């Protein structure tokens, strides 16, 4: 079903994100018939491009990032593109933008630029009468680097837009499998009764990446894994796993419940955090080489044990880990249930546990470890087997074209659905929990532990769980 007619202005329209995600995503939605023929995408940036130059840039970006491009469709899509050379801090381009924007369609402004320009853009959108009370503004992470800067950004945006107009992207929320967490939890009768401290032993959340910091060393070295991944993406996963059922799948109901989870998180003790930094191996560069700082103390890996102190989760640890240059790209959430209260099978010494693991990427699917009788005449011997389901197999080939997170999220902006976007108070609460952790290691002068590229992270991360008599799941 096509969304309503719209004008979408992408500030930073020639940048990396526009080329890798926004333009290819919009093209895919166009091909899927979701973008009305009259909708317009207006790239806005500093360079003096013509409409034609911008179409060339978009053409190349789409051909590079979209498989099997239909050339006719691409050329029709490019007809919907415009470009305006604009000065975020001056007057250039704003009159032209005002003339181009239609007043009778949905208008959305994507700030795909550094946060230092948010205020300038918002102010000019208003002073030139371009944005109205129904316009939407989309902002990207990093949303600040601590609580103070996040508050300042929220204030800047609030000076010009109502909260209902602001769409803070965390692209993990746009991933199909991440949304599936809510479907699994709240769409089945099976899991929810067990989803609490009476039945759950612990939960592991792993987001492992194979890539290093690639060309983003300068940004990354100022952030590290805690700011880059935990404060936002892992936090969102934790919220979806831990939250109470919202009364309805609506934007404020969902975000209210997520906020309660973040506010219930306990401070993390220093011995429950392990930071790591990758070494080079087999011709691969080390983190320090990648960021060009031989003394960098920024972490490219972090593991931590987190407690959510509320009625549902009291005493249940959440082990979180994420890192770059790990042995595989794999994101998984695993819920390990408690031991049976009593085993009726004499001689069965092994510990059998039900584990529900949800594979977020790649090979999206679910796996439930269950205990059954080992086949054969050997008596009542028990073994653990997986009840395995990859979504690709279960859903069939016609449903295997999973939309990219950005496609989904941009269409939600046009539809005016904020459910999968972070609210201002949520982002601030996440920083309020993150700040003391980072301050702690900065004050102590902690140095991250080295780990081999293509490994599961530093040895100390293993110890974090071994100490509790538990172990991390393999990264496969």
Interface contacts to ligand BG6, rule CB under 6 A: 141, 209, 228
Annotated catalytic, 352?
A: no
Coil, helix or strand for 291?
Answer: helix
Given the complex with ligand BG6, which of 174 and 317 has the nearer CB atom? 174
Given the complex with ligand BG6, which of 328 and 372 has the nearer CB atom? 328
Given the complex with ligand BG6, which of 78 and 360 has the nearer CB atom? 360
Q: Which two tokens stand for residue 413?
A: 């902006």
CA dihedral angle for residue 225, residue 230, residue 232, residue 234, rounded to 10 degrees: 130
Given the complex with ligand BG6, which of 228 and 407 has the nearer CB atom? 228
Q: Which helix (H) or strand (E) holds 195?
A: none
Q: How far is the CB of 40 from ligand BG6 (least distance, A)?
A: 28
Q: How far is the CB of 158 from ligand BG6 (least distance, A)?
A: 24
Q: How far is the CB of 252 from ligand BG6 (least distance, A)?
A: 25
Q: Are 429 and 436 in contact (CB under 8 A)?
A: no
Coil, helix or strand for 113?
Answer: coil
Given the complex with ligand BG6, which of 221 and 228 has the nearer CB atom? 228
Q: How far is the CB of 213 from ligand BG6 (least distance, A)?
A: 7
Reading phi first (left if > 0) and then psi (alpha if -120 to 50, else beta), residue 219 is in alpha
- What lies within 8 Å, CB to CB, of 44 at 6+ separation is 9, 10, 11, 12, 13, 83, 84, 85, 86, 93, 97
Phi, psi dihedral angles at 352 (to 5 degrees)? -100, 130
Given the complex with ligand BG6, which of 161 and 431 has the nearer CB atom? 431
- From the list 59, 82, 202, 233, the catalytic residue is 233
Q: How far is the CB of 119 from ligand BG6 (least distance, A)?
A: 23
User: How far is Cα 85 from Cα 94, in angstroms, rounded to an integer?
Assistant: 9
Q: How far is the CB of 427 from ligand BG6 (least distance, A)?
A: 14
Q: How far is the CB of 229 from ligand BG6 (least distance, A)?
A: 6
Q: How far is the CB of 360 from ligand BG6 (least distance, A)?
A: 8
User: How far is Cα 451 from Cα 324, in angstroms, rounded to an integer?
Assistant: 11
Q: Are 326 and 208 in contact (CB under 8 A)?
A: yes
User: How far is Cα 234 from Cα 206, in angstroms, rounded to an integer?
Assistant: 8
* Chain residue at closest Cβ approach to ligand BG6: 228
User: How far is Cα 452 from Cα 279, in angstroms, rounded to an integer?
Assistant: 5
Given the complex with ligand BG6, which of 272 and 412 has the nearer CB atom? 412
CA dihedral angle for residue 115, residue 118, residue 119, residue 120, rounded to 10 degrees: 110
Coil, helix or strand for 134?
Answer: coil
Place of tokens 């040895």: 459
Given the complex with ligand BG6, which of 135 and 179 has the nearer CB atom? 179
User: How far is Cα 17 from Cα 12, in angstroms, rounded to an integer?
Assistant: 8
Q: Across the beta sheet with 273-279, what order do the strands follow?
A: 382-390, 365-373, 355-361, 330-337, 200-208, 317-323, 301-307, 273-279, 449-452
- Indicate which residues carry an active-site annotation: 233
């Amino acid at each position: 079903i096509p969304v309503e007619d719209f004008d979408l202005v992408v500030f930073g329209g020639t940048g990396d994100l526009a080329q890798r995600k926004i333009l290819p995503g919009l093209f895919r939605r166009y091909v899927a018939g979701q973008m009305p023929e009259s909708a317009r995408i207006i790239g806005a940036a500093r360079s003096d491009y013509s409409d034609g130059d911008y179409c060339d840039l978009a053409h190349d970006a789409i051909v590079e990032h979209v498989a099997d491009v239909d050339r006719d469709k691409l050329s029709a899509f490019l007809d919907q593109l415009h470009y305006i050379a604009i000065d975020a801090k001056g007057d250039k381009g704003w009159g032209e933008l005002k003339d181009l924007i239609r007043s009778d369609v949905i208008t959305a402004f994507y700030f795909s630029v550094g946060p230092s320009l948010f205020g300038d853009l918002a102010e000019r959108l208003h002073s030139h009468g371009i944005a109205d009370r129904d316009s939407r503004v989309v902002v990207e992470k990093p949303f600040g680097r601590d609580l103070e800067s996040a508050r300042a950004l929220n204030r800047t945006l609030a000076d010009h837009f109502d909260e209902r107009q602001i769409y803070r992207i965390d692209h993990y929320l746009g991933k199909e499998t991440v949304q599936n967490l809510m479907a699994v939890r709240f769409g089945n009768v099976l899991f929810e009764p067990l989803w609490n401290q009476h039945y759950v032993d612990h939960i592991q959340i792993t987001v492992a990446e194979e890539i290093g910091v690639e060309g983003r060393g300068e940004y990354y070295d100022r952030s590290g894994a805690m700011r880059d991944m935990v404060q936002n993406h892992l936090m969102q996963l934790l919220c979806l796993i831990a939250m109470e059922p919202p009364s309805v799948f609506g934007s404020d109901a969902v975000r209210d419940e997520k906020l309660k989870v973040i506010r219930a998180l306990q401070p993390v003790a220093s011995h429950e955090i392990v930071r790591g930094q990758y070494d080079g191996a087999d011709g691969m560069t080390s983190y320090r080489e990648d960021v060009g700082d031989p003394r960098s103390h920024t972490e490219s890996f972090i593991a931590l044990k987190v407690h959510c102190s509320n009625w549902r989760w009291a005493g249940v640890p959440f082990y979180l880990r994420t890192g770059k240059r790990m042995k595989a790209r794999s994101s998984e959430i695993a819920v390990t249930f408690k031991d049976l209260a009593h085993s009726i099978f004499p001689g069965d010494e092994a510990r059998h546990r039900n584990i529900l693991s949800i594979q977020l990427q790649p090979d999206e699917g679910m796996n439930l470890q269950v205990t059954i009788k080992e086949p054969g005449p050997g008596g009542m011997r028990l073994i653990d087997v997986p009840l395995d389901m990859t979504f690709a197999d279960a859903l069939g080939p016609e449903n295997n074209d999973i939309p990219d997170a950005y496609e989904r999220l941009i269409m939600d902006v046009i539809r005016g659905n904020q459910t999968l976007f972070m609210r201002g108070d949520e982002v601030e609460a996440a920083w309020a929990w993150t700040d003391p952790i980072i301050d702690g290691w900065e004050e102590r002068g902690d140095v991250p532990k080295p780990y081999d590229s293509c490994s599961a992270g530093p040895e100390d991360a293993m110890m974090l769980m071994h100490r509790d008599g538990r172990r991390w799941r393999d990264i496969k």
